Amino acid sequence: MPATVLTASALLLDMDGTLVNSDAVVERCWRRWATDHGLDPEEALKVVHGRQGYATMAVLLPDRPMEENYADNRVMLARETADVDGVVPVGGAPAFMAAIAGLPHTLVTSADSALAAARMGAAALPMPAVRVTAEQVSASKPDPEGFLKGAAELGFAAADCIVFEDSEAGIAAGRAAGMRVVGVGPRAAALAPDAHVDDLTRIRVEAAEDGTIRLHIAEH
């Protein structure tokens, strides 16, 4: 099947599930949290991906005061930051990051800066010079704030940016920001992104003479 070609001025990259496979840690920590709160761990895992922890907690415990979610989230972040066992790069991520090193891109993650550094480091991936982490936004994905801030930091209009995301919340955030979305991995397959790949080995990056980025995407 011929490759789909998408053109952009900048790339906005989610981390967990997109660049870094941290599912093992996420599942360990959230199963423990769900069990401690009398919840079904399997049901909890359906909503944890892509959101900040406090937002996940608000979905799962809607009657609990938000202050308790914020406090619990601080504990969860510390626990996740300390646990990098099983954190590995998504297939093709090292080569993909090398290919875009000199091109406009930013990390837009629901992790805080410490967790982002821990996971990117564990996966041996370079940390983008520009990044939007949890501390810099007032609302978690699926709110588009993080992606809009990322585009503004790079100096490009939303319509000229392409988002790479794996989760329902993240893809919804990218769409709400007015950006095109490349879905990465199994969670994204059913969410009708503009293009979908199993992993980043399916993408070839080309820097055009006019400064734009051409993505050659072999979807299948």
Residue range 28-65, pLDDT digits in tens: 999 999 999 999 999 888 888 878 899 999 999 999 99
Q: In angstroms, rounded to a whole number, what is the distance separating the alpha carbons of residues 51 and 25?
A: 15
Q: Give the pLDDT of residue 220.
A: 61
Q: Give the pLDDT of residue 180.
A: 98
192: left (phi over 0), alpha (psi -120 to 50) or beta: left
Annotation marks residue 16 as catalytic: yes
Q: Give the pLDDT of residue 156.
A: 98
Mean pLDDT over residues 78-105, rounded?
A: 96
Annotation marks residue 14 as catalytic: yes
Mean pLDDT over residues 113-130, rounded?
A: 97
List, for residues 163-178, the tens digit of each pLDDT value. Answer: 999 999 999 999 999 9
Per-residue burial over 190-207, b if 16 or more Cβ lie within 10 Å, else e, is ebebbbbbbbbebbebee
Q: Give the pLDDT of residue 140.
A: 92
Percent of the chain with pLDDT over 90: 88
Q: In angstroms, rounded to a whole number, what is the distance separating the alpha carbons of residues 135 and 140?
A: 10
